[in-house]
Structure 1
């Protein structure tokens, strides 16, 4: 696998990923595609990376560095979810972020409250819940669980 800054072609592919139930929430609705694409390619506060496997877009890592801290986002392409890749993928996201940004502090993430599979994974990676927040996401009110970890021993298993 190869991790590289996301380019425009990869961003265009990513914003059109379509997930099946129960993960359709992660499919960017038509009215949000342009805004999300623009955020990826122009917003310097967000750092998007493509994770390539066999030359194709396997997943994405997103890092937001701000006065509020260091936050991650990640996603695996729809064809690869549910195949046992989550733990290694999330661990690599954490290890890559710490290495690339030379960051050893608290890492935060938000996960939708109905994604029990992801919540279970994050707890295995020693994330703990720090709060909940209902907010609007593409016209729907969704509850996000706020989580964080201080763990620093993640090892990058591919680059």
Structure 2
């Protein structure tokens, strides 16, 4: 079930702990407060994915901007550590896109996302969902240099 993000769900998300080689996605304690503040300041664009027992399974984050004079919906998403690697990713991605299109009245047009270039498991899932790499972005994440692949899907 997809529900609006709350502070309680955001705190649960920030406490997730991924094993290697996915530890990049663990929020360092030193940055916990700023990350929580960022989520809370953008609540209308964040959603929690929960099960019938109110267990946080994942989250979706949406933003909208122009790329090459075209309006795009950008998605950020995360599946809780216990649910990764179980073949649920493709449906999770499709659900994110469908929810964003419905909720934000964005029935068509491209969907973009950014993924850590070393996260081959996620890249394969996004490719199966119809995304293709169209660029890369160098960034700093919590003081460490990283490279994200920029991926686009105009078919879902």
Secondary structure of 1:38's partner? helix
Provide the residue aligned with 2:151 in structure 1: 147
Task: Give 2:112's match in structure 1, choosing from 108, 111, 131.
Answer: 108
Provide the residue aligned with 2:77 in structure 1: 74
Q: Kindly report which structure 2 residues correspond to 1:5-154, keeping only aligned pairs within 5 A, or say none.
A: 5-43=4-42, 47-54=45-52, 55-68=54-67, 69-103=72-106, 104-152=108-156
CA–CA separation in structure 2 for the residues paired with 1:36 and 1:67:
25
Secondary structure of 1:20's partner? coil
> Mind listing any 5+ residue stretches in structure 2 that lack a counterpart?
none
CA–CA separation in structure 2 for the residues paired with 1:107 and 1:16:
28
TM-fit CA distance, 1:107: 0.7
Give the alignment's TM-score, normalised by structure 1: 0.90
Greater relative contact order (CA < 8 Å, ≥ 6 in sequence):
1
CA–CA separation in structure 1 for the residues paired with 2:85 and 2:119:
12
CA–CA separation in structure 2 for the residues paired with 1:13 and 1:78:
12
Post-superposition Cα deviations, 1:86-142, rounded to whole Å, max 9, x if no partner, equal 111111011111111111111110000000011111111111111011110111100
Q: How many residues align?
A: 150
Post-superposition Cα deviations, 1:131-154, rounded to whole Å, max 9, x if no partner, equal 0111101111001000011113xx
TM-fit CA distance, 1:66: 3.1
Secondary structure of 2:45's partner? strand
CA–CA separation in structure 2 for the residues paired with 1:51 and 1:140:
29
